[in-house]
């Protein structure tokens, strides 16, 4: 780091820590937009044999690597810990045993360095993955967060105040993908596998229901869609044959994507917005990205989806959100707790 | 001179202590809460304030890594390993059995000093109830520092204590064990036939060795424990005590004195976790 840079007091460096689910993530972001480092220790390999995330296993793994990941993020960023202005950490919602590893580490750094702690909402951080990718986005949009744990629709005003307008009443969409992949013996995580197989399948082959598409609200349901697939395959065993799997999962994916895109656009119209920000692990789904692009352009709505690397859980988005909270002086006390569920 | 900050979050009682060498300067304990995540930094700050020190003055960090409450030990491990990294100091993770043994030695100092002054060996056996009808335990001996043959015999000094004007070492003899009832009885009988008599090297064959059995098993496995002590002159320390940070500090101090290589701080689990029971 040059002397000029050291003396430039305007630069704000935020260390982000994210351990809400199964990935141990740390990142250093400068001024809310320049990612100096973003490291992830993925546990996919470990959870693959169980076909899903086992919370106790996730927590055991986090505590093994948390300090290693933080050190790596600092080292790769090229700055010394003494330049960190604040630590931003996910403290809600998520798996308690996972969250507390990251929050414990964040508190320790803040206490030892006497810098502010910023405890943030994981879902809000996902929405900020778009702000990180497109720093000029103004407030006033509909935010859709879709992942293995969440399927939620938010209305975000000009000042980035968020209000939940709808969410899944049962399974998260990514969870449904994982469960279907496990049922069909395709592996874990289910989302990318189904995405890949669907490319060679006919999505119109089976007409799956579009759950709650006309429910009148902005909630989702994916459990029934999953059950529908299971019933179809029980009735017609041929569907489970290897050559029919692409058609089956493409049709399933199409139904899920259709509901997500349709209801998000309807919410956008109802609340008079002209922007949609999509984020979360399922935002990496190629069909979802394609369909949002297509239908939004025909409706004169701008849609923003972060690059694939920013869709999955990462700490850069946590640091980015932390930067904006830092500017507002929204700091947390060092006795902040962790929460499995929460509202904004 | 060494300033030590240790945390014990392995039970429902959270405690943080600050020591200078083997002397306790301050300790903050919460007896009823399970909100360790909320209290941990506040307690550390309070303990440092009471001791008249700041975090920068700490040379050695310590944490009780269990076995114990999963949530608690993770919080302790996460905070201590990160603090030690930021402060560029070493951190020791202490096994819960070591902490219990040292605590038992200090709480029963009167009994121990009487036996030792009469040249009778004393052993301590902390036994923790780790569910599924199993006990996690280990054996500890107490002997004079100058006679110590620990390094030769593979025994590990966990802490020290002063009785009269003499310095004694509390040392672990053998490994940590996980055992069911039958294995527990067998291990105890082998230990007391061989080890206790041998280490003291005294002609005491006519006297039953004295031992103090402590830990949560004394309460929850009471009948097994009573069986165990029936044939010998054992004492059962039945006070269901949670371990405390001041003893974590003593263990950390001795680990530092012995120049033990610090390891990655990860909670101690007595069994591998097997999801869905298969």
SS3 labels along A93-137 = CCCHHHHHHHHHHHHHHHHHHCCCEEEEEHHHHHHHHHHHHCCCC
Burial grade of B164 (CB within 10 A; 0-12, 13-18, 19 or more): exposed
Report CB contact under 8 Å: B86, A113. Answer: yes
State the smallest CA–CA distance between residue A20 and chain B in angstroms.
Answer: 14
Backbone angles phi, psi at B24, to 5 degrees: -75, 130
Polymer length in residues for chain A:
344
Q: SS3 of A210, please?
A: coil
Q: SS3 of B273, please?
A: coil
The fold adopted by the segment(s) A139-307 is Nucleotidyltransferase; domain 5 (3.30.420)
What are the boundaries of each domain within chain A?
3-127+312-328, 139-307
pLDDT by 10-residue block (mean), chain A, 344 residues: 56 97 96 96 87 90 97 97 97 96 98 98 95 90 94 92 93 95 92 96 94 94 95 93 95 97 96 96 97 94 94 96 96 96 71
Q: Has residue B199 got a pLDDT over 50? A: no
Enumerate the residues of chain A whose CB falls inside 8 A of the CB of residue B265: 63
CA–CA separation, B25 vs A61, rounded Å?
35
How far is the CA of B92 from the CAs of A89, A116, A152, A289, B192, in angstroms? 25, 27, 43, 49, 30
Superfamily in which the B3-95+242-277 domain is placed by CATH: ATPase, nucleotide binding domain (3.30.420.40)
How far is the CA of B34 from the CAs of A140, A300, B37, B69, B156, in angstroms? 41, 53, 8, 10, 32
Q: ipTM of the predicted structure?
A: 0.91
pLDDT at B278: 46
Q: Which residues pair with A275 in a beta bridge?
A: A302
Residues 6+ apart with CB under 8 A from A4: none
Other CB atoms within a 10 A radius of the CB of residue B220 amount to: 15
Q: Which of A112, A332, A339 to mutate to test the interface with B (most CBs of B within 10 A)?
A: A112
How far is the CA of A167 from the CAs of A151, A174, A263, B213, in angstroms? 6, 13, 11, 55
For A219-301, where are the E strands, in sequence order? 275-279
How far is the CA of A242 from the CAs of A239, A312, B133, in angstroms? 8, 29, 47
Select from A54, A112, A338 the Cβ nearest to the Cβ of B86. Answer: A112
- Taking the CA of residue B25 as centre, how many other CA atoms within 13 Å lie in the half-sphere pointing to its CB? 21
Report CB contact under 8 Å: B70, A111. Answer: no
Pseudo-torsion of CA A228, A229, A235, A237, nearest 10°?
A: -170
Q: Has residue B133 got a pLDDT over 50? A: yes
* Token pair for A90: 């996910």
Q: Which residues of A touch B (CB under 8 A)?
A: 50, 54, 56-57, 59-60, 63-64, 66-67, 70-71, 81, 96-97, 100-105, 107-109, 111-113, 334-338
Residue of B nearest to A104 (CA): B79
Query: Pairing state of beta strands B210-214 and B166-179?
Result: unpaired
State the smallest CA–CA distance between residue A24 and chain B in angstroms.
Answer: 13
Enumerate the residues of chain A whose CB falls inside 8 A of the CB of residue B41: 107-108, 111, 334-335
Q: Has residue B146 got a pLDDT over 90? A: no
Select from B55, B75, B78 the Cβ nearest to the Cβ of A112. Answer: B55
Determine which of A237-251, B126-140, B234-248 has the lowest per-residue pLDDT on average. B234-248
Enumerate the residues of chain A whose CB falls inside 8 A of the CB of residue B82: 66-67, 70, 104-105, 108-109, 112
Is A139-307 in the same CATH topology as A3-127+312-328? yes
Convert the pLDDT of each residue in B34-81 to its tens digit: 799 999 999 999 999 999 999 999 999 999 999 999 999 999 999 999
Q: Which of A46, A68, A108 to mutate to test the interface with B (most CBs of B within 10 A)?
A: A108
CA–CA separation, B8 vs A102, rounded Å?
19
In which region does residue B132 sit, left (phi positive, over 0), alpha (psi from -120 to 50) or beta (all else)? Answer: left
Report CB contact under 8 Å: A336, B38. Answer: yes
Enumerate the residues of chain B whose CB falls inside 8 A of the CB of residue A56: 70, 273, 275
How far is the CA of A337 from the CAs of A31, A320, A341, B30, B66, in angstroms? 27, 21, 12, 17, 22
* Token pair for B202: 């005294």
CA–CA separation, B80 vs B6, rounded Å?
8
CA–CA separation, A103 vs A97, rounded Å?
11
Q: Which residues of B touch A (CB under 8 A)?
A: 35, 37-42, 44-45, 55, 70-71, 74-75, 77-83, 85-87, 264-267, 269, 273, 275-276
Q: Tell me which residue of A36, A120, A45, A40 sits closest to A315, measured CA to CA.
A: A40
Residue of B nearest to A84 (CA): B86
Q: Which of B33, B54, B68, B74 to mutate to test the interface with A (most CBs of A within 10 A)?
A: B74
Select from B55, B78, B87 the Cβ nearest to the Cβ of A104. Answer: B78
pTM of the model: 0.92
Select from B37, B42, B45 the Cβ nearest to the Cβ of A103. Answer: B37
How far is it between the farthest Cα atoms of chain B? 56
Report CB contact under 8 Å: A96, B71. Answer: yes
- Taking the CA of residue A56 as centre, how many other CA atoms within 13 Å lie in the half-sphere pointing to its CB? 10
Alpha-carbon Rg for chain B in angstroms: 18
CB B176 within 8 A of CB B107: no
Instruction: For helices A245-270 and A173-183, give the axis angle rounded to 10 degrees.
Output: 170
Report CB contact under 8 Å: B87, A112. Answer: yes
Enumerate the residues of chain A whose CB falls inside 8 A of the CB of residue B269: 60
What are the boundaries of each domain within chain B?
3-95+242-277, 98-236
Q: Which of A22, A52, A111, A119 to mutate to test the interface with B (most CBs of B within 10 A)?
A: A111
Q: Has residue B19 got a pLDDT over 50? A: yes
Report CB contact under 8 Å: B82, A108. Answer: yes
Select from B42, B74, B85 the Cβ nearest to the Cβ of A97. Answer: B74
* Token pair for A174: 């990514």
Determine which of A79-83, A125-129, B104-108, B115-119 has the lowest per-residue pLDDT on average. B115-119
How far is the CA of B25 from the CAs of A117, B3, B46, B235, B239, in angstroms? 29, 9, 12, 31, 25
Select from B45, B86, B267 the Cβ nearest to the Cβ of A63. Answer: B267
The fold adopted by the segment(s) A3-127+312-328 is Nucleotidyltransferase; domain 5 (3.30.420)
Report CB contact under 8 Å: A338, B37. Answer: yes
Angle at B259 between CA A67 and CA B72, to 5 degrees: 40
């Amino acid at each position: 780091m040059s002397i000029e840079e050291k003396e430039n007091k305007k630069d704000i460096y935020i260390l982000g820590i994210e351990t809400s689910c199964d990935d141990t993530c740390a990142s250093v972001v400068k001024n809310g937009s320049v990612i100096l480092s973003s490291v992830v220790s993925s546990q996919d390999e470990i959870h693959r044999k169980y076909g899903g995330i086992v919370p106790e296993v996730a927590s055991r793994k986090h505590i093994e690597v948390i300090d290693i990941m933080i050190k790596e993020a600092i080292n790769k960023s090229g700055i010394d810990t003494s330049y960190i202005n604040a630590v931003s950490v996910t403290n809600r919602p998520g798996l308690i045993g996972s969250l507390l590893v990251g929050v414990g580490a964040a508190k320790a750094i803040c206490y030892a360095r006497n810098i502010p702690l910023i405890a943030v909402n994981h879902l809000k951080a996902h929405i900020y993955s778009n702000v990180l990718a497109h720093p000029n986005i103004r407030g006033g949009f509909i935010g859709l967060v879709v992942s293995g744990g969440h399927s939620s629709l938010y209305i975000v005003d000009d000042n980035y105040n968020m209000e939940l307008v709808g969410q899944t009443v049962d399974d998260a969409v990514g969870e449904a993908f994982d469960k279907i992949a496990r049922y069909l013996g395709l592996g874990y995580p289910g989302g990318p596998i189904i995405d890949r197989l669907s490319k060679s399948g006919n999505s119109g082959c089976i007409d799956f229901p579009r759950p709650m598409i006309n429910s009148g609200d902005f909630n989702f349901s994916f459990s029934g869609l999953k059950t529908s697939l299971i019933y179809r395959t029980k009735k017609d065993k041929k569907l489970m044959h290897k050559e029919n799997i692409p058609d089956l999962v493409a049709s399933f994916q199409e139904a899920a994507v259709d509901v997500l895109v349709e209801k998000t656009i309807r919410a956008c119209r109802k609340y008079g917005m002209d922007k949609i920000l999509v984020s979360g692990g399922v935002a990496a789904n190629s069909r979802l990205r394609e369909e949002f692009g297509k239908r939004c352009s025909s409706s004169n709505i701008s849609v923003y989806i972060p690059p694939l690397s920013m869709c999955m859980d990462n700490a850069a988005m946590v640091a980015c959100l932390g930067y904006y909270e830092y500017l507002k002086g929204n700091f947390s006390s060092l006795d902040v707790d962790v929460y499995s569920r929460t509202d904004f | 001179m060494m300033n030590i900050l240790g945390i014990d979050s392995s039970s429902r009682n959270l405690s943080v202590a600050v020591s200078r060498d083997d002397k306790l300067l301050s300790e903050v304990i919460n007896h009823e809460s399970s909100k360790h995540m909320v209290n941990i930094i506040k307690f550390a700050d309070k303990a440092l304030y009471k001791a008249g020190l700041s975090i920068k003055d700490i040379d050695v960090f310590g944490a009780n890594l269990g076995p114990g409450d999963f949530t608690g030990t993770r919080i302790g491990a996460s905070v201590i390993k990160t603090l030690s990294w930021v402060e560029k100091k070493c951190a020791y993770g202490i096994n819960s059995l070591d902490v219990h043994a040292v605590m038992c030695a200090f709480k029963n100092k009167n009994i121990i000093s009487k036996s030792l002054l009469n040249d009778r060996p004393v052993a301590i056996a902390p036994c923790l109830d780790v569910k599924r009808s199993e006990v996690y335990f280990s054996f500890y001996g107490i002997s004079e520092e100058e006679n110590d043959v620990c390094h030769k015999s593979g025994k590990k000094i966990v802490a020290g204590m002063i009785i009269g004007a003499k310095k004694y070492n509390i040392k672990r003899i053998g490994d940590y064990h996980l055992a069911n009832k039958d294995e527990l009885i067998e291990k105890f009988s082998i230990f007391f036939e061989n080890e206790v008599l041998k280490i003291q090297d005294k002609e005491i064959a006519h006297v039953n060795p004295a031992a103090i059995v402590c830990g949560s098993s004394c309460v929850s496995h009471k009948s097994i424990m009573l069986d165990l002590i029936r044939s010998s002159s054992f004492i059962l320390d039945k006070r269901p005590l949670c371990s405390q940070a001041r003893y974590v500090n003593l263990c950390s101090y001795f680990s530092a004195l012995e120049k033990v290589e610090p390891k990655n701080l990860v909670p101690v689990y007595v069994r591998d976790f097997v999801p869905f029971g298969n």
